Amino acid sequence: MSRIAGAIVHFGALDTLSASGTPLHRLDPRAKVVTTLAFAAAVASFGKYAVLPLLPFALFPVALASAGGVPFGLLGRRLLLALPFVVLVGALNPVLDRMPVSLGPFAVAGGWMSFTSILLRFVLTVSAALVLVAVTGFHEVCAALGRLGVPRPLVTQLLVLHRYLFVLLEEAGRMERARSLRTFGGRGRGLPASGAFLGTLLLRTWGRAERIHFSMLARGFDGVLRFERPLRFGAAAVLFTSGWIALFLAFRLVDVPRLLGSFLAAAAP
Amino acid sequence: MHMADALVSPAVGGTMWAATAGTTALACRRVRQGLDDRRVPLMGVLGSFVFAAQMVNFQVPGTGSSGHLGGALLLAILLGPHAAFVVVTSVLAIQALFFGDGGLLALGCNAFNIGFFPAFVAYPLVYRPLAGPGAGPGRRTAASLLAAATGLCLGAFGVVLETTASGITELPFRLFLGAMVPIHLAIAVVEGLATAAVVGFVLKVRPDVVEPGPAAPTPTSRLGAVFLAAALVLGGFVSWFASRQPDGLEWSIAKVTGRPATAEENAGRAATTLAGIGGGLATLVLVGGAGWALRRR
Amino acid sequence: MSHHLVIADRLHFRYPDGTPALTGASFRIAHGESVGIVGANGAGKSTLLMHLNGTLLPDSGEVRIGEEPLTPDRIPDVRRRVGMIFQDPDDQLFMPTVRDDVAFGPLNMGLPPGEVEARVTAALRRTGIEELAARPPHRLSGGEKRRAAIASVLAMSPDVLVLDEPSAGLDPHGRRALIGLLREFTHTKIVATHDLDLVLDLCERTIVLDRGTVRADGKTREIFADEPLLASCRLEKPLSMQGHWGRS
Ligand SMILES: Nc1ncnc2c1ncn2[C@@H]1O[C@H](COP(=O)(O)OP(=O)(O)OP(=O)(O)O)[C@@H](O)[C@H]1O
Ligand SMILES: [Mg+2]
């Protein structure tokens, strides 16, 4: 089944990336998590027609992806797959908002500007999130969240969920393959069959939870998963966080492309 | 339906983050108070289950289309509202981080729309009263359908409110709502039927799994407070939005230019705009160069 | 060293759905013994093993670890001493990385950080998976998962090692390596398996379980040579013995 297989491949790819040991990977995960959140907030804070002023923000995902060895192809594929909802919600902007906005010698409907802006925000924020996982690793992100005050049951939940994603996706994939070998046309894919399919998967999942619980108990489980990570918010982390946030502020306050443009215009004969 | 970062303003995203953080803290406290350490592996693998189940498509009866399970209602039935909310939030977080579905800023909105309404409203107020212990399959299906419809419509309403309040898309409130509610009612039919089918199957094979446990302490008072607060927050958004933006178009153009624009002014700024585009290209070149340099190191 | 005794005395157990899984199983295993538990699917092997560390408690009869009976208040101590390796390593490796998983038991024992660290390193070295320490378990091969599961139990320094189907899903090489690894563990070993060749290699004594009770208990070679017994318990003579004894 292609969706399940695709998900397994994608998880695997991000996992492999997050295991590489660049200096960026070694940075305290809290620095990366906080900076990425600040990034998302800064990008979201622009007015709806903002296109040019958003461009400099591309520096953040591009720089992190480059320093962390994240291939742009992977980001691009994921962006394309996640695109539809945003396009759906933004696509009517050009139709609904016909107020002309000048763009050089032409005037375009304001809706086109805001639509472009939505797409740009989408590309920026989604790639920043993907890059965050790829250059940090999910466990480290969770460790950071725990230290930043996210309640322990949620952090544990995230870790166990992530641990068994592969196992469950593979199980579902095997069952799905077996099902597709025995279904013809639409038959066997209706609701009763699907109820049984998902019900079976659910029961297997439940059984697995019980076995995991047994094996936890066998090693002295007392209700708490201890996964301490020695985190150290060193000078590099301070520099990283403050540097990027200062840059975001600067990009928010100063329209860099316009400044560059007038500079270029003045330099040109 | 997932809200995306691209459509959320910091005010809306932040408010919903706060609402979700509050609910999460409460839900986590309840989960921990439950003192049932089976919960730890169970919630974890059920999160993975929901994730995998969402990828299994099946045919919707009477139509040519296909759908999949959402899972929030099923989780509430299996785990109770608090644990279900935590599980849904964790699934959404993974989807945002790994798949770019939704986003970090929109996570609060999504957890609320997709997790809170089914778990804390539809399940305790619709499903449980209707499908008490010993309910037959017909009753269970009806309860699932109604509960799914309640949860999903409230969720759709949340999406529309949050999107319009953010003011980034042009879709008018009424039109958007008019489109979202029927879509979500259709999704709710799938969700309700699928949930009932799964519960029905499991009841036959292993009734202990879905038997509602020793009546969960009804979290009415505090939960009511949370819900009321959420309703107020959402209501506040609408009024704030309505007063801020009496007329979308004028308001927005004023925002771009600082004051209402005229055609001449626009033409007069052509040169500046051109320079802006050149500047934009230059910016991208610089960003690309920085990336290239970093990659080569 | 009588405190390493493992004794099962007329164990009876029914699952909540009424399935009678154990119907009076008894045996006595002394320190340092290596015992194979064989039996057809559903004979009750896994159920029996889960009684040995108090995961399940018998409806009647008792388990004794050392001389005293296994009562609920002794469970934490018994779980430290009886290390259990489950059938599916995915059920046992639930932590984010191999290292976290191996540290799970020692941390729960409340050991100081230095001691935890030392035990984790030692267990990883003994099982030969030091370089896999930082890997998440879902990125390990079947044999590596099995090793990691064993490491996670060795880190608790158990006196008794209990294994359920340790060779399931391993290729011949992985199976050889596993046998070598288990040989090095000189304390008591109790291995439930369908892999009779593994029992032949590893265990001088065999207990045959049939429908929840002990059908035979004795020297491995003698038991595996008793064809009527094996047939009546739906078992087959190990491949390596079929050569010596010829096919009938
Ligand atoms: N959780 C359970 N609930 C009900 N019955 C069970 C459960 N687990 C096992 N049984 C039943 O108990 C009996 C003994 O099962 P057990 O798993 O101990 O056998 P086994 O010898 O380990 O089998 P296998 O070789 O297939 O692993 C079987 O009839 C089985 O169906
Ligand atoms: Mg077994």
Please name the amino acid found at residue A175. Answer: M
Q: Assess A148–B contact: CB distance below 8 Å, yes or no.
A: no
Question: Does A220 sit within 8 Å of C94, measured CB to CB?
Answer: no
CA–CA gap between residue C214 and residue C22 (Å, rounded)? 10
Whether A37 and A146 share a structural domain: yes
Identify which of C11, C19, C87 to mutate to test ligand 1's pocket (most ligand atoms within 8 A of the CB): C19
B4: closest chain A residue by CA: A86
Question: Does A211 sit within 8 Å of C104, measured CB to CB?
Answer: no
Q: Is residue A264 part of a domain?
A: no
Q: Assess B262–A contact: CB distance below 8 Å, yes or no.
A: no
- Residue A185 pLDDT grade (very low, low, confident, very high; cuts 50, 70, 90): low
Looking at residue B268, its pLDDT comes to: 45
Backbone angles phi, psi at C28, to 5 degrees: -140, 125
Strands (E), A24-147: 100-103, 106-109
The mean predicted confidence, pLDDT, of chain C is 90
| Atom of ligand 1 minimally distant from the CA of C44 | 18
Report whether C108 contacts A219 (CB < 8 A): yes
State if residue C141 touches ligand 1 by the CB under 6 angstroms criterion.
no
Which value does ipTM take for this structure? 0.91
Report whether C66 contacts C179 (CB < 8 A): no
Whether A211 and A142 share a structural domain: no
Looking at residue B58, its pLDDT comes to: 74
Q: How many domains does chain A have?
A: 2
What is the interface size between B and C, counted as CB pairs within 8 Å?
3
Looking at residue A127, its pLDDT comes to: 94
Residues of chain A with C-beta less than 8 angstroms from the C-beta of B43: 157, 160-161
Q: Is residue A249 part of a domain?
A: yes
Whether A33 and A73 share a structural domain: yes
Q: Does the structural domain B5-294 have CATH classification 3.10.105.10? A: no
Identify which of C11, C14, C15 to mutate to test ligand 1's pocket (most ligand atoms within 8 A of the CB): C15
State if residue C26 touches ligand 1 by the CB under 6 angstroms criterion.
no
Ligand 2 centroid to Cα of residue C47, in Å, is 7
Q: Neighbouring chains of B at 3+ CB pairs within 8 Å? A: A, C
Question: Does B282 sit within 8 Å of A257, measured CB to CB?
Answer: yes
Nearest to A16 by CA among A61, A79, A71, A62: A71
Domain boundaries, chain B: 5-294
Task: Give me the torsion for CA of A46, A50, A51, A57, rounded to 10°.
Answer: -20
pLDDT higher than threshold 90 for residue C28? yes
**Residues constituting chain A:** 269
Q: Distance from A230 to chain B by nearest Cα, in Å?
A: 23
- pLDDT, tens only, A47-78: 888 888 999 999 999 999 999 999 999 899 88
Q: Neighbouring chains of C at 3+ CB pairs within 8 Å? A: A, B
Residues of chain C with C-beta less than 8 angstroms from the C-beta of A138: 96
Mean pLDDT, residues A162-172 taken together: 91
Q: Assess A159–B contact: CB distance below 8 Å, yes or no.
A: yes
Task: Give me the torsion for CA of C126, C130, C135, C138, rounded to 10°.
Answer: -30
- pLDDT, tens only, A80-127: 888 887 787 777 777 777 777 766 566 677 788 888 898 999 999 999
Mean pLDDT, residues C185-208 taken together: 93
Number of helices followed by number of strands (H, E) in chain B: 13, 2
Number of neighbouring beta carbons within 10 Å of residue A143: 24
Mean pLDDT, residues C84-103 taken together: 92
Whether A124 and A158 share a structural domain: no
Q: Is residue A52 part of a domain?
A: yes
B41: closest chain C residue by CA: C94
Kindly provide the b/e burial profile for residues A52-71, where b requires at least 16 CB atoms within 10 angstroms of the residue's own CB: bbbbbbbbbbbbbbbbbbbe
Nearest to A164 by CA among A113, A224, A207: A207
Nearest to A129 among B100, B273, B292 (CB): B100
Burial of A30 (0-12, 13-18, 19+ CB in 10 A): buried
Whether A3 and A66 share a structural domain: yes
C91: closest chain B residue by CA: B41
Looking at residue C210, its pLDDT comes to: 94
Handedness of CA B217, B222, B227, B228 (dihedral sign): positive
Nearest alpha carbon, ligand 1 atom 28: C42
The mean predicted confidence, pLDDT, of chain A is 87
Domain enclosing residue A172, as ranges? 151-228
Looking at residue A177, its pLDDT comes to: 84
Higher-confidence position of A185 and B70: B70
Question: Does A198 sit within 8 Å of B198, measured CB to CB?
Answer: yes
Ligand 2 centroid to Cα of residue C37, in Å, is 11
Q: Is residue A223 part of a domain?
A: yes
State if residue C37 touches ligand 1 by the CB under 6 angstroms criterion.
no
Whether A220 and A134 share a structural domain: no
pLDDT higher than threshold 90 for residue C48? yes
- pLDDT digit of tens for each residue in chain B (297 aa)? 678 888 888 889 999 999 999 999 999 999 888 767 888 899 999 999 999 988 887 776 666 666 788 899 999 999 999 999 999 999 999 999 998 888 888 999 999 999 999 999 999 988 988 887 777 888 999 999 999 999 998 998 898 889 888 888 777 888 888 888 888 888 888 899 999 999 988 888 888 777 554 444 444 445 555 555 555 455 445 444 444 443 333 333 344 444 444 544 544 455 666 666 777 777 778 888 887 877 766
pLDDT higher than threshold 50 for residue A161? yes
Nearest alpha carbon, ligand 1 atom 17: C46
Residues of chain B with C-beta less than 8 angstroms from the C-beta of A63: 287, 290-291, 294
Question: Does C16 sit within 8 Å of B208, measured CB to CB?
Answer: yes
Nearest to C224 by CA among C214, B169, A88, C203: C203
Whether A242 and A140 share a structural domain: yes
Domain boundaries, chain C: 2-88+159-236
Report whether A94 contacts A109 (CB < 8 A): yes
Q: Neighbouring chains of A at 3+ CB pairs within 8 Å? A: B, C
Looking at residue A209, its pLDDT comes to: 92
Q: Which CATH class is domain C2-88+159-236?
A: alpha beta
- pLDDT, tens only, C117-148: 999 999 999 999 999 998 889 889 988 999 99
Question: Does C94 sit within 8 Å of B208, measured CB to CB?
Answer: no
Looking at residue B245, its pLDDT comes to: 43
State if residue C47 touches ligand 1 by the CB under 6 angstroms criterion.
yes
Whether A108 and A179 share a structural domain: no
Q: Which two tokens stand for residue C220?
A: 């491995």
Nearest to C156 by CA among C50, C80, C95: C80
